[in-house]
Structure 1
Amino acid sequence: MAGKKAARLPREVYERELRSLQIELVKLQEWVRAEGARLVVVFEGRDAAGKGSTIKRVTEFLNPRVARIAALPKPTERERTQWYFQRYVEHLPAAGEIVLFDRSWYNRAGVEHVMGFCTKEEHQRFLRQCPVFERMLVEDGILLRKYWFSVSDAEQQARFKRRLDDPLRRWKLSPMDLESITRWEAYSRAKDEMLVHTDVVEAPWFVVESDDKRRARLNMIAHLLDSVPYHEVPPPVLDLPERPRATGYERPPRDLQTYVPDHAADL
């Protein structure tokens, strides 16, 4: 509810619903594969807004040959001379595939624009071309879903602090992330301008409130499932065969092979 922060979703409720949604994601995957559909899901938002953890839950039980993550590094010198959208096009799905963009072509509307990595003319050209580009994708039959993860400045600051103190997540912090703290309003203005130009009927934006990561994950996954007209595809009937009788095979002596030390025995 607007203006009132909802209580954090209890873990038991979250895990039960997440499992239910992940079962549906597997059904969605099988429908995509059977129908030869092409699904693109764009994840954008502020640093530490929960995009990565949501992508992890979406793909946790999916077949990586069907559902893959596109998280492109900064462009090479050659790529900088290409049409801006060119390097993203080659990561688009073929029939029966799902691609989740962990950040996408919208880098130009956000970090590149705010940090001065592109010119004003390049930024304005992007805002003009992006709706045309996305309309072409949709017209060609691609199912395009775009999610913006929204996080408050206080919650972002708290997450940055936890990352700074956590050796398992310290790698997630970069100088660029910390710079975003001092440019909060600049990023807000850039996001607002981006939405004005690219929130089009054919490819609308969907905002995910993500101060509570558990709610954000469930809300985003549930919306994605509701937005795609998939149906359950009956799985093939499989019978586990009986093991054949032994025919005299003998395993080579163990001392001929190098084994990993039993670290667990010392715990």
Structure 2
Amino acid sequence: MKLSEEDVKILNSKEGLRRILMNKKVNLERALRLANYDHKLKELQTELIKLQTWVINNNKKVVIIFEGRDAAGKGGAIRRFTAYINPRRYRVVALPKPTIEEEGQWYFQRYVNHLPRPGEIVFFDRSWYNRAVVEPVNDFCTQEQYERFMSQVNDFEKMVQSSDTYLIKLYFSITKEEQEERFEEIKSDPLKRWKITPVDLRAQELWDKYTEYKEKMFEVTNTENAPWTIIKANKKTEARISALSHILETIPYE
């Protein structure tokens, strides 16, 4: 492997040396790729601090939705995004199964309760779009409930945006083979095994049905005012860089 002066500089940096020493068998090509990722991620995380400062100082509100198939890397991306920003001025929302009381409410009500206050960023690790894909695929809602949601969601998002809120919708996309590989990795790791749910266990079996509902969701809800951005997520490092770059490019912070 031929190294440029810039490559050598990166490998001699703190990130580069850490990546070289991570494995007993030195792989300079892999170490260089990951060191470049570390460097780029740190640059973007620094910019995200600036964005958050602008949000706080100008009482702006930001909602960032992370959707995608199970094991697509949504949670890992959120952890990188929130690693250095002010913890008092952001929230990560990952709602559990609705309570009996919530099931009797207007569907969007439980999400309205978690929308950002002025000067705050909210990251939704899955969102109201559960009803567009996960719930109908797994028979967690009726066809009537699904259709009602699809007829209301665009108007709901317009109302959110009209309250001076930035809304960004990210969809992390992986292949069926990549999902299967990640599930096997999680199952074999005792520290990660808790992540596997009954819904995850059926994801491969229901792959085509998920695809059908996902495409319906894009067709109806990929609107001019609230478009979807598809993040290719087979490589987690590239997905994180791509998603964070998109956020920084979309919100006009100073």
Sort the TM-score into its range (normalised by shorter chain). Answer: 0.7 to 0.9
| Structure with greater helix percent | 2
Aligned to 2:65, the other structure's residue is in SS state strand
Q: CA RMSD in A?
A: 1.2
3-state SS of the aligned residue for 2:42?
helix
Other-structure match for 1:66: 89
What letter matches 2:198 in structure 1? Answer: P
Deviations 1:188-214 (A, max 9, x none): 000000111111111110000000000
Task: Work out whether 1:76 is the aligned partner of 2:99.
Answer: yes
Q: 3-state SS of the aligned residue for 2:202? A: helix
SS at match of 2:203: helix
Bigger relative contact order (CA 8 A; separation at least 6): 1
State the alpha-carbon separation in 2 of the partners of residues 227 and 11 from structure 1.
26
* 2:13 alignment counterpart: none
Cross-structure match for 1:198: 221
Partner of 1:131: 154
1:177 aligns with 2:200: yes
Other-structure match for 2:19: none
* Residues 34-45 of structure 1: pairs in structure 2 closer than 5 A: 34-45=57-68
Structure whose CA Rg is larger: 1
Matched residue SS, 1:181: coil
Match of 2:163 in 1: 140
Q: Which of 103, 117, 129 is the aligned partner of 2:140?
A: 117
Provide the residue aligned with 1:4 in structure 2.
none
Q: Give me the whole-angstrom Cα distance separating, in 1, the residues matched to 2:132 and 2:204.
A: 18
Aligned length: 225
Q: Letter of the aligned partner of 2:173 in structure 1?
A: S
Instruction: Find the partner of 1:105 among 124, 128, 134.
Output: 128
Partners of 2:149 and 2:222 in 1: CA distance: 14
* Structure 2 unpaired stretches of 5+: 1-28
How is 1:1-267 mapped onto 2 (pairs within 5 angstroms)?
10-231=33-254
Moved segments of 4+, more than 2 Å:
none
Identity of aligned residues (%): 48
Q: Distance in 2 between matches of 1:108 and 1:44?
A: 12
Q: How far apart are the structure 2 equivalents of 1:122 and 1:10?
A: 46
Instruction: Provide the C-alpha distance between the structure 1 equivalents of 2:159 and 2:220, rounded to a whole number of angstroms.
Output: 16
Q: Normalising to structure 2: TM-score of the pair?
A: 0.87
User: What TM-score do the two structures reach when normalised by structure 1?
Assistant: 0.83
Counterpart-to-counterpart distance in 1, 2:33 and 2:94:
31
Query: Matches of 2:154 and 2:113 in 1, distance apart?
Result: 18
AA of the residue aligned to 1:104: S
Q: Could you give the per-residue CA deviations for residues 208-232 of structure 1, whole angstroms, max 9, x where no partner exists?
A: 000000000000000100101001x
TM-superposed CA distance for 1:86, in Å, is 0.2
